[in-house]
Structure 1
Amino acid sequence: MSDRTILIVGTYDTKEDELGYLAQVIRGQGGGVLTMDVSVLGEPAMPTDYSKHQVAEAGGASIAEAIAGEDENLAMQIMARGSAALARRLQAEGAFDGVIVLGGSMGTDLALDLCAALPLGVPKYIVSTVSFSPMIPTERLAADVQMILWAGGLYGLNSVCKASLSQAAGAVLGAARAVETPVRDRPLIGMTSFGKTVLRYMVPLKPALEARGYEVAVFHATGMGGRAFEALAAEGAFAAVLDFAPQEVANHLHGSAITAGPDRLTAAGRAGVPQIVSIGCYDLIDLVGWHERPEGLRDRPAHAHNRLITSVVMTAEERRGMAKALCERLAQATGPVVFLLPLKGGNEWDREGGPLSDPEALAAFVDAMRAECPANVTLVELDAHINDPEFSEAALQVVDGWIAAGLLPRA
């Protein structure tokens, strides 16, 4: 008997040989297989466990409707919707332990929806001819999805693409065997931050919160980290969030490729999760370090963190816009929100006399926060820098107050 079952998804009318090879490798390693056909026009030579008709029905349509639309994009969206819904139901029923989806650009579009529908901890592998392409938006990536480039795999089996397919088959089966799925034995607090050189509050806060009985997960707020943070907040995984590094909001507003998408700083609020929010690196726009800077940002003070990421400083007017954007998002929150506003700065480089210090622009942001702060947000001003001990102490005071008031579970 197989110890783990892998759901294999693809267009069995055109890629049956490749999908069959994946199944062969998985079975050869002692795994079990379920198959799902997401094709539209053709029929597979052999029946699959879940047919294209079942997929379309799960998407609220039929194959006949998908064909009648005479639009391959709309047809694939029907199949994407259906495969995501069907996979979500099957996983909840315990039918499979991991999923692997095979495709070109069409199949990848579908795969992104399917994987995003599955919870964190379910191994998700996309084998694609467009893996890692800039055409794939970060906001569509599941928090723990894995991608493998399907080299030489556009049409038919060969020794080149078998190298990719066999690795992918082994990877998803190995992941399904090895994965330690999250156990909610302690309330989880989500925190956003950067490295310890620029934001340091996580160093005292993590052990202090753990001493209170909470589990703490710190997310690197550089695009994908914020995306994972938002996805888990939307699932209701967090008892509370300490969202102290909202810089991805600025990145998105200014068109940076380093973005968590347009919904950053919204999921916890929609879910009613208690939030403490602050200004870690609020004044910076992250850019891909090896890209040429946009014309309007070329002469700005900047910090090259490494060859991958460079952060440029926002003007006073841009910081006013940032304050407005933060407040607009927080105004939608249905749970308690406290905004900690350290008046002496939001990252190690902007301290008085620091290389990116701009006191006038900081003052403009502070004034805008005071003016724009919505009624549902408690604004707490601190005569401190975000990296000072006073900031972390203030955050813990809020947490302790919420525990005492019953807004946070006692761990």
Structure 2
Amino acid sequence: MINVALLGTCDTKLDELLFLREAIQENPNVAVTLIDVGRHETRHEAIDYPHAKLVQSYGNGQDVSELPRGEVIKTMASYATKLVKELFNRGDGTHIYGIISAGGSGGTSLTAAVMRDALPIGFPKMIVSTVASGDTGPIVEETDITLMYSVVDVAGLNQVLRTVLSNAGAAIAGMACSYASRRTASASVSKKRVGITMFGVTTPAVDAIRKHLESNYDVETYVFHATGHGGKAMERLVREGALDAVLDLTTTEVCDHLTGGVMSAGETRLQAAAKSGIPNVVSVGATDMSNFGPRNSVPERYRLRKLYEHNPVVTLMRTSEQEATEVGDFVAAQLRQHAQDPKMIEVWLPQGGISMIATPDGPFADAAADAAMFKAIKDGLAGSNIEIKEDTRDINDASFARDIAEALMDKLRRYSKYE
């Protein structure tokens, strides 16, 4: 039997959760493990992990009923995360192959945290939510949670909600069965898995790198759009052991982190591959820019800066000389401080242009800013045993793309794990 975990606040959503449970079990090959993450204890024979058991076995036994709502969500999420990790790792018949929840904003926040923290990318995750049609970035973040809008509130069964929950139940059951069949397949991964970061202004380079690697080597490439969540997703896959090497061509998310742009991947960007010790070739693609929304959304302090409308919803701001120095300092510090094996890291500096629009005569051409960043990187990595390649070509030059791809393959061939 294939098990699916169903998370929910049974003190407020029991009828809806029981209906969803039955919808999932319409598939005769699927069973449900119902986990109560509510504030108060609820008694029902269908609940496999009641509130009290979750608090006693996976928490410290404290009474959460009087805590503020936000604290309840964080506390119950931490307890459920421990349980779900255990259910995922079990080798017996209670191992889970999918997870689903249904609820409002609070329940969505709680169960999304559990799914993000307890389960790897690729594991079936679904949330039926009242907030699934809004800004879903904080819910999904860098994971692959599937969201289904509930249309009506998850507050009393009616024809619309029954239809939505029935569809969701059938969907997660099918996803779990598919995942189980793939998980038990005997075929092993043979191709080396290479992560590459890309932005619109580095697309020609990434296309050339991808084609070169996949045409000449037993390699499968994973291209990540450097929009904040893209960088986080790549680094999550590195931590999960799902990538064998990284060609971090486009590190533009660092600019957004430092300037308050809308596509930051946070303060830990560049750490995962360095810490893992896997082959890691880094460049500075699109670090000539920070990203904002429509032109009228650019912060007042930046209104007089050099701006470029990439499209109606994305406005780019040229990195200043001071900001470029800060970007270089950040890149060097992250690599130097977190390198498990400095010889597996290499940094390429394309002096002919760091993006499609930063080449000579381009709208973001600024040789002084680029030189400041290059100097900060070189100074910051001096004596680190991390090799730096200074190249006169621009980042989208076809021969540059080929050579940086070969540099990664050279490290991958020398990586002891694959000798």
Please state if 1:279 is matched with 2:278: no
- Aligned-partner Cα distance in 2 for 1:58–1:275: 41
- In the alignment, the residues of structure 1 paired with residue 89 and residue 279 of structure 2 have an alpha-carbon distance, to the nearest angstrom, of 28
Aligned-CA RMSD value: 2.6
Q: How far does the alpha carbon of each residue in 1:129-161 deviate from its partner, in whole angstroms, 9 at most, with x for none?
A: 3336558637x7352111223332253223343
Choose the corresponding residue for 1:26, options 24, 27, 42.
Answer: 24
Residue 191 of structure 1, CA deviation: 0.9
- Deviations, residues 324-359 of structure 1 (Å, cap 9, x unaligned): 111121122213211101111111111111122122
- Counterpart AA for 1:273: I
In the alignment, is residue 125 of structure 1 matched against residue 126 of structure 2? yes
Aligned residue number for residue 73 of structure 2 = 76
Specify the alignment match of 1:42 in structure 2. 41
The answer to whether residue 408 in structure 2 is matched with residue 399 in structure 1 is: yes
The answer to whether the 8 A contact 1:16-1:44 is kept is no
Residue matched to 1:89 = 86
Moved more, 225-234 or 296-305: 296-305
Equivalence map 1:173-188=2 (5 Å): 173-179=173-179, 184-188=189-193
Q: CA deviation at 1:207?
A: 3.1
1:240–1:408 Cα contact (<8 Å) kept = no
Map of 1:362 onto structure 2: 370
* Equivalent pair of 1:129/1:151 in contact (CA under 8 Å): yes
Q: 1:404 to 1:177 in 2, by over 3 A?
A: closer
Quote the offset at 1:65 in angstroms. Answer: 4.1
Distance in 2 of aligned mates of 1:43 and 1:18? 14
- Is 1:263 aligned with 2:268? yes
Q: Distance in 2 between matches of 1:242 and 1:143?
A: 21
Q: Quick one: which amino acid aligns to residue 11 of structure 2?
A: D
Range with greater deviation from structure 2 (278-287 or 146-155): 146-155
8 A contact 2:288–2:364 mirrored in 1: no
- Is the CA contact (8 Å cut-off) linking 1:402 and 1:408 kept in structure 2? no
* 1:55 lines up with 2:72 in the alignment: no
Query: 2:239 is matched with which residue: 220, 234, 237?
Result: 234
Distance change in 2, residues 1:159/1:257 (3 Å): farther
Partner of 1:319: 324
Where does the alignment leave 5 or more consecutive residues of structure 1 unmatched?
A: none
The structural deviation recorded for 1:38 is 1.1
User: How far does the alpha carbon of each residue in 1:162-212 deviate from its partner, in whole angstroms, 9 at most, with x for none?
Assistant: 3433332233223334456696332211111124x6432222222332322
**Amino acid aligned to 1:234:** R
Q: 1:11 aligns with which of 5, 9, 12?
A: 9
**Preserved CA contact (<8 Å) 1:199 1:347:** no
Pair 1:135–1:400, CA change in 2 (3 A): closer
SS at match of 1:352: coil
1:24 aligned partner, one-letter code: E
The answer to whether the 8 Å contact 1:385/1:391 transfers is: yes
Amino acid at match of 1:241: V
Deviations 1:42-99 (A, max 9, x none): 313334122223322453322x4434x6344333323211211211221222622211
1:350 aligns to what? 358
What does the per-residue CA deviation read over 1:244-281, in whole Å, with 9 as the maximum and x for residues that have no partner? Answer: 11111211222223232332211112222221100110
Over 3 Å counting, the alpha-carbon distance change for 1:185 and 1:397 in structure 2 is closer
CA contact (8 A) 1:57 1:82 kept: no
Map of 1:334 onto structure 2: 340
Residues 1:350 and 1:114: Cα distance change in structure 2 (over 3 Å): same
Q: Residues 13 and 45 of structure 1 are in contact (CA less than 8 Å); yes or no, is this contact kept in structure 2?
A: no
1:125 positional shift:
0.9
Matches of 1:282 and 1:123 in 2, distance apart? 35
Contact between 1:127 and 1:168, CA under 8 Å: does it hold in 2? yes
Helix, strand or coil: the match of 1:137?
Answer: helix
User: Among residues 386, 389, 393, which one is paired with 2:395 in the alignment?
Assistant: 386
Greater mean deviation of Cα atoms: 35-44 or 401-410: 401-410
The answer as to whether partners of 1:243 and 1:278 remain within 8 angstroms in 2 is yes
The number of residues matched between the two structures is 404
Q: How much has 1:242 moved relative to structure 2?
A: 0.5
Identify which of 219, 223, 231 aligns with 2:228. 223
Helix, strand or coil at the partner of 1:200: helix
Cα deviation for residue 20 of structure 1 reads 1.1
Contact 2:351 2:392 in 1 (8 A): yes
More helix by share: 2
- Work out whether residues 239 and 408 of structure 1, in 8 Å CA contact, stay in contact via their aligned partners in 2: no
Amino acid at match of 1:61: N
Identity %: 30
Q: Is 1:345–1:351's contact at 8 Å kept on the other side of the alignment?
A: yes
Runs of 5+ consecutive residues of structure 2 not aligned to the other structure: none
Q: Provide the TM-score with structure 1 as the length reference.
A: 0.89
2:293 and 2:314 in contact (8 A); partners too: yes
